[in-house]
Amino acid sequence: MKVTVYSCREFDEKELFIQYGKELGLELVLCPDAPSLANVGLAEGSDCMDILTTPMTEELLRAFGEAGVRYLVTRTIGYDHIDIEAAKRLGITVANAPYGPHGVADYAVMLILMSIRKMKRIIERTNIQDYTLRGAQGRELKDMTVGVIGTGRIGRTVIRNLSGFGAKLLAYDLMENEEVKEYAEYVALEEIWQQADVITLHAPLTNDSFHMIGKDTISKLKDGVVVINTARGALIDSEALIEGIESGKIGAAGLDVVEDEFDLYYYDRKSDVLHNRELAVLRGFPNVTVTHHMAFYTDECVKTVVRDSLEGCRIFMEGKGKSAGQPGEGQKKNPWEVV
């Protein structure tokens, strides 16, 4: 049972892959680079490949399919970087590794608190021995209304966490969840736009959610609204966000993700001229905290994501003898398959 692992990080993932590979009886090929047409050969003879956030286009999927890959697992919760329809056509089963929601949920709350307490300004001042107060006055969550968009595993956990702060909580999702109703009121999206002092995004990136915060939406928001994004960059139109911040409509933002972050985030690019102007502008604002897609990055998440991605491969390969990519009779469906 062979799995080719791409984008394998030497400093934190490699040891875990070796440990769980042994425990699960899998032969692993560990490659530090992202999957590409140049290294497709490494997947020859592997039923499964294990990736991170590389855009898996139809061309790339076809090449890996021709090399024999039948199961592709991404070590992420979001799978918007994979052309799912093409994978289906090519007979490649796609799975994600939905690790626990607490790491991202904690991080979202941290960004909310950092934004309403102007922490970027405070830290910058302290670092240069500017110990003044002017312009650093914050707000208290108990006086604010927080709108949570997407009440799946992460959004729900954020709501539970925030309930301790005494904020009024509004929620929106395509499907309502009973547990959420204990702490928050489900309302129409329009009401979130009109009433929320803080908006935090926890929906996946889909055709429907693409640029859900754009020019139109921003015009409906409360003055001084705080926008937090730990979901996917393209939920927000960066240019519209910049205009909103420049006009003062948006009072602060906490962005763990931005549009077009692929190829930038997780690389040392300090000597390079980058192709993402919006990121440079956003980073420069005193009221915008930008981090490089780190919300997931805890001991717990790294460990479980490596383990669960390999478990998915094992379950797939055990079932493969019955019918390619489908669970055999009496066998449970792989819990991580997304299609």
Give catalytic residues, as residue numbers: 232, 261, 293
Which residue of 21, 35, 150, 325 would you call a contact of ligand NAI, by CB under 6 A?
Answer: 150
**Residue from 26, 116, 154, 310 binding ligand NAI (CB under 6 A):** 154
Q: Using the minimum distance from each CB to ligand NAI, give the nearer residue, 202 or 320.
A: 202
Could you give the dihedral angle defined by the CA atoms of residues 267, 303, 337 and 206, in that order, rounded to the nearest 10 degrees?
A: -40
Query: How many residues in the shown chain lie near ligand NAI by CB under 6 A?
Result: 30
Query: What whole-number distance in Å separates Cα of residue 196 and Cα of residue 214?
Result: 16
Site membership for ligand NAI, residue 214 (CB under 6 A): no
Q: Which DSSP string corresponds to 42-89?
A: GGTT-SEEEE-S--B-HHHHHHHHHTT--EEEESSS--TTB-HHHHHH
Can residue 9 be called a binding residue for ligand NAI (CB under 6 A)?
A: no
Token pair for residue 20?
């769980």
User: Radius of gyration (Cα) for the chain, nearest Å?
Assistant: 21
3-state secondary structure (DSSP) of residue 27: strand
Contact stretch for ligand NAI (CB under 6 A) within 62-70, 198-206, 261-269, 315-323? 198-206
E strands, 61-203, where? 71-74, 93-95, 145-149, 168-172, 185-186, 198-201
> Using the rule CB under 6 A, is 149 a contact of ligand NAI?
yes
Q: Does 77 bind ligand NAI (CB under 6 A)?
A: yes
- Asked if 293 is part of the footprint of ligand NAI (rule: CB under 6 A), the reply reads yes
CA pair distance 122, 228, nearest whole angstrom: 19
Closest residue to bound ligand NAI by CB = 152
Q: How far is C-alpha 57 from the geometric centre of its chain's CA atoms?
A: 19
Assess 173 for contact with ligand NAI (CB under 6 A). Answer: yes
78 binds ligand NAI (CB under 6 A): yes
- 232 scored as a contact of ligand NAI (CB under 6 A): yes
Q: Which of 151, 276, 289, 334 binds ligand NAI (CB under 6 A)?
A: 151
Residues in contact with ligand NAI by the rule CB under 6 A? 77-78, 98, 101, 104, 149-155, 172-175, 202-204, 206, 208-209, 230-232, 256-257, 293, 295-296
